[in-house]
Structure 1
Amino acid sequence: MNIKRRLTLRFVLQLAITGMVVLAIAAVTFTWMLLRFLDISITRDFANVGLEQLVESSKIDEKGIQFSPSLLEQVKKNKGWLQNIDENGKVESAYNTPKDVPIQYGPGEVVAYWTGTQPFPYTLAVWIQEKNGRQFTLLYGAPNILDPLLKKMSDGTFDAVDGDLVLPDSIEREIKSSQAFVQLIDSSGTELLSYNRPKMIPTKYSVPELALRTLYSERYGYHVRSSFDKQTGQTWIVGQPNVKGADTGQKVWVPEEVKIVIKGSLAMLAALLLAFILLSLWQAHRFGAPMLHMLVWLDSIGNAIYTEPLDRKGNRRSRTHVGKWRRRYRVFSDVMVSIEKLSANLQRDQALRQQTENLREEWIAGVTHDLKTPLSSITGYAHLLAEPSYDWSKEEVRKFTRTMLDKSAHMDMLISDLAMTYRLKTGIKPPELMEVELNSWLHQTLDQAAANPEYGKQRIIFVPAPNEVRARLYTPWLERVVNNLTANALLHNPSDTILTVSLTMNDLDSGFTIQFSDDGDGMDEVTLNRLFERYYRGTDTVSSSNGSGLGMAISKGLIECMEGRIAVESSPGQGTIIKLSWS
């Protein structure tokens, strides 16, 4: 799998994980909000919501029905009680039931208490539901303070002092203990009298205002009951806080449900922010650290430091001690391998450049020596000829002159070879190709080379091809190559070395090969590998006055310019074979 697919898969996986985390946080938040809404509903309207939850959360075992302890605790907070009766009206189980509550009910008794047709000191709620094949009938009672208080106020006659009711001590204690209030309003809704009225309760009501406060008590924080006297047109109003002990001195501007939504939303945003920060840190650890490591490595390469940066312990950051990729670097393995190859190549090139520079300096020193040697001879003989105190004979003058010409020719050859190497480097082309018959041309060229007195006699053997071999070549260049190879074979080997030059046709007449084979000392592997380097000489520059150290480099360049190939085979003590091939 390439890096593109690995990165795509990794980013898709991370987006999926991020989406799952967001969904999980949202689910937890909404679940918490729903549970809080349910708690509020149970607190405000336990008769309808709480009883259903009691049945749904109940368990049936050998001891009978078992209710949720938290819901039973809510019953106790409401100062309510709970009974479970069977089909005959007998109480099977009860919780927090006062002594004045019956333990056996007749068929019409429950309905009478429930509908209010029969006086009962408690507000009664009935819940009937079937579960696990069994029918449950739950009775929930809560203290009925408002209805008796409203009846006392509407049936009684009370005095007033400065707009405040004067009530009997028993009614005052009842009102204060239950945090209730009492109001008397006229037919226009304006308050006439009141007792213990909180500041949030209005002193004037419109028709919709009183209706809304009676129907939707959870919006206003109070349960309200009212009794209208048709003869006087006055209305008694009694009220009690929804939650006993709550702070009802001020109007509830923000409903409890809105507070829960705000809290849940803020908590969800904080959780999402924390999750994204953690995911970002994880992302930076998984992807940022490897990328930073690669950038540091590339910067080190720019500063000629080619080894991979190490950690504080001196270990490679990208690999384990056994050489395997570390997990977070695995996705970038292709890039890391490319950087490793780049580092190795640059390091090798740097070493090669340094080696080449050293060879260049050595070669320049050698060439300088080779140029100075004949120049010293020329200068010395020139001084001798110019010296007026000597009267040189004609034979001596000719001798001095021949020596000066030889040294000048050697210097010219050195300079020509140096110029040729740079011309070959720029990619020169042969001036004009000409068609020649190689058997006769090679025979003639080798005969001319063999005439050199430095080579000795009968040391060159030519083996022609059985048939004519015609080719289009630039013969001055080929002649120079032949002379270079002949000189190398005969001058840098023992005096009894034999050079065999053979011309053969390649298979299917697709080309030809000129082979130079000698039985001399051969070359070691180092010399063989560096034979064609511009600044390498297999022998010392002062070993011969006839060489420039550039012969093989020039020969290779000339052969390649004529679209040929040159190959060398050699080993110490086994001689050398050089093949010039054209296809």
Structure 2
Amino acid sequence: MKWKLTVRYLFSVLSIVFIVVFVNMVLLFGILYYQQTKGNDNFSAETGENFTRQFSRYLSIENGQPVISDEGVQALKTFGGWLQLLDQNGQVVNAALSPEDAPTHYSPVELVHIYKYMDDQLTTYYVGQFKDYSYLVGVPDSPDQRLFFMFNSSKFLSYVSKAFVAITIADLIIAGLVGLLFSSIITRPVSYMINRISQLKERNFSIQKMKRQGIFKPVFSNLNSVSETLQAHEEERMKLEKMREEWISNVSHDLKTPLASIQGFAELLREQDVTESERVDYAEVIERKSIYMKELLDDFNLTMRLRNQEMPLHREDTRLESFVRELIIDVLNDPKYCDTAISFSSDAPDLRWSIDRHLMKRAVLNFINNAIIHNDKDIQITVSVSNSGITIEDDGKGIARHDMDQIFNRYYRGTNTENILGTGLGLAISRDIIKAHGGSIILTSEIGMGTKVEIRIEE
């Protein structure tokens, strides 16, 4: 992949160089051609050659002799030159502004010499034709320079073509070397990014660092951030997948036991020799197991909805002290818990929370019930309300340290919960309810010293 990118980049560079060289050569020859054919009128309107060619308009024939008009004399003054008219024998027949020491006769050789090389006073000469006469225009210290060279057109074209090929090859070689250098620098990180994306596609979320990141440093940083995010999502997905499998396994296991009891006692009810007393006992077992299954399925449905944030909260502004006091009274009015020692205290009578009263009651009751059913009958439970929240504390058996991290996991049962009835979802549901309210739970416990649960919600 890396060499493929390098070759493509290098080919692009060489193509650009070739196009630039070709266009430049075409433009150069086009400008030269245009200047030679039409450019004199546009680019050199004030040159001696152009002035001389156009000067014939100031000449006329009067009485058989060439005459210079006044406009022509003025044009000569403006241009800074002088003029001599020659007949066919090279004799000067008329002049304007010419120096006193100017020749009055020119041989063909002299004309050729002064036209090509100027004279001793560095006067540049230009030659024009007017009917049967010739005329010389002399310009002292002219800014124009005349260069003469001879060339063979076929050889010149051959030389130009060879020069074009040589320049193109040289430019391509230089561009190739430079392009190879820069392409290797640029394509290395690009190739690395492509490989990283392929690794992400293959679910390889490991963090990798490249030594020379250059201008792609933000890209590599973002790729690593994406890797970290995907890694976190993958871990969460695996955790949820494991949890789902555990849920299914535990629910299936928990349902099998009551279903087996229901099936067994239902079969006993069909027996003919069953007494009325036994029939009532069997019916009570079936009813109790059915209620347990209903509670299990309700808890399972609730925890799933809370986990997936599909449980809408019907919040009400609630004074926490009266809310918790009423909840404790309900617990003490339950015949099962009427002998339990539960005390209540509050030092925040005005503390108010915006909560879903039904769900929050379920969460707090789960903690109280958990403290009651997992401890001895002489347990002392204290529920208090303070400005920091709700605290539920007991002096019971406590929770082992290795159970603390998993106590809120669904279906997890601690080492001191053997033979305890329940769905195994109570504390997980409480945790999810508090979390749905934007709160947190602080759990502290020590074996033989009791357990303390603190519920905090930031308003």
TM-score range, shorter chain: 0.5 to 0.7
Question: In 2, are the aligned partners of 1:410 and 1:546 still within 8 Å (CA)?
Answer: no
Question: Residue 217 and residue 476 in structure 1: after superposition, are their counterparts in 2 closer, same or farther (change >3 A)?
Answer: closer
Deviation at 1:502, TM superposition (A): 0.6
Residue 242 of structure 2: aligned partner: 358
Alpha-carbon deviation of 1:536?
5.7
Aligned partner letter, 1:576 = K
C-alpha spacing 1:345/1:466, structure 2 compared with 1 (3 Å): closer
Superposed, 1:399-438 pairs within 5 Å as 399-424=281-306, 425-431=308-314, 437-438=319-320
Cα shift readout 1:345-404 (whole Å, capped 9, x = no counterpart): 32343233223322221222112121121222222222222211x23133x333333322
Which one of 155, 162, 171 corresponds to residue 272 of structure 1? Answer: 171
Post-superposition CA distance 1:550-569 (Å, at most 9, x none):
323322343455x4513223
Distance 1:414 1:540, change over 3 A: farther
Q: Which residue of 2 aligns with 1:514?
A: 390
SS in 2 for 1:360: helix
Whole-Å separation in 2 of the counterparts to 1:451 and 1:523: 32
Paired with 2:269 and 2:285, the residues of 1 have a C-alpha distance of 12
Is the contact made by 2:400 and 2:446 (CA closer than 8 Å) also made in structure 1? yes
The correspondence for 2:343, drawn from 452, 461, 467, is 461
Larger Rg: 1
Are residues 1:442 and 2:318 paired? no
Aligned to 1:208: none
The reply to whether residue 504 of structure 1 matches residue 408 of structure 2 is no
Q: Does 1:283 align with 2:283?
A: no
Aligned pairs for 1:503-582 (under 5 A) are 503-505=385-387, 513-519=389-395, 520-522=397-399, 524=401, 527-528=404-405, 532=408, 535=410, 537-539=412-414, 543=418, 546-561=421-436, 563-570=437-444, 572-573=446-447, 575-581=451-457
Q: Secondary structure at the match of 1:254?
A: helix
Q: 1:458 to 1:494 in 2, by over 3 A?
A: closer
Cα distance in 1 for residues equivalent to 2:411 and 2:175: 64
Change beyond 3 A, Cα 1:218–1:269: same
Shift in CA distance, 291/412, structure 1 to aligned 2, threshold 3 Å = same
Secondary structure class of the residue paired with 1:294: helix
1:382 corresponds to:
266
Structure 1: gaps of 5 or more residues: 1-14, 27-215, 221-251, 309-315, 320-324, 507-512
Amino acid corresponding to residue 443 of structure 2 in structure 1 = E
Shift of 1:474: 3.7
The residue that corresponds to 1:482 in the other structure is 364
**3-state SS of paired residue (2:154):** coil
CA distance, structure 2, for counterparts of residue 446 and residue 301 of structure 1: 54
Letter in 1 for 2:345: V
State the shift of 1:286 in Å: 0.8
Change in Cα spacing, 1:435 to 1:276, as seen in structure 2 (3 Å) is: closer
The equivalent of 1:106 in structure 2 is none
- Partners of 1:489 and 1:291 in 2: how far apart? 60
Which ranges of structure 2 fall in alignment gaps of 5 or more residues? 1-12, 25-146
Q: Relative to 1, partners in 2 of residues 1:333 and 1:459: Cα closer, same or farther, differing over 3 Å?
A: farther
Aligned to 1:254: 154
> Which SS does the other structure have where 2:150 is aligned?
helix
Q: CA deviation at 1:405?
A: 2.2
Is the CA contact (8 Å cut-off) linking 2:403 and 2:414 kept in structure 1?
no
Instruction: Describe the shift of the 1:471–1:269 C-alpha distance in structure 2 as closer, same or farther (beyond 3 A).
Output: closer
1:507-553 residue CA offsets vs partner (Å, 9 max, x unmatched): xxxxxx2122334423547743x5555x4625489945643233233
Partners of 2:164 and 2:375 lie apart in 1 by 95
TM (normalized to structure 2)?
A: 0.58
Q: Map Cα deviations across residues 448-467 of structure 1 (whole Å, 9 max, x no partner).
A: 33466776843432213363
Structure 1 residues 411 and 560 mapped into 2: Cα distance closer, same or farther (>3 Å)?
A: same
Higher RCO (Cα < 8 Å, 6 or more apart): 2
Shift of 1:439: 3.2
Residue 439 and residue 307 in structure 1: after superposition, are their counterparts in 2 closer, same or farther (change >3 A)? closer
Instruction: Please identify which structure carries the higher helix content.
Output: 2
Assess if the C-alpha contact under 8 Å between 2:321 and 2:351 holds in 1.
yes
Q: Which amino acid aligns with 1:579?
A: I
Residue correspondences, number? 315
Deviations 1:157-179 (A, max 9, x none): xxxxxxxxxxxxxxxxxxxxxxx
Contact 2:268/2:274 (CA < 8 Å) preserved in 1?
no
Identity, in percent, stands at 25
In the alignment, which residue of structure 2 is the partner of 1:182?
none
Pairwise CA distance, 1:413: 0.8
Structure 1 residues 270 and 492, CA gap change in structure 2 (3 angstroms):
farther
Residue 446 of structure 1 and its aligned partner are, at CA, apart by 2.0
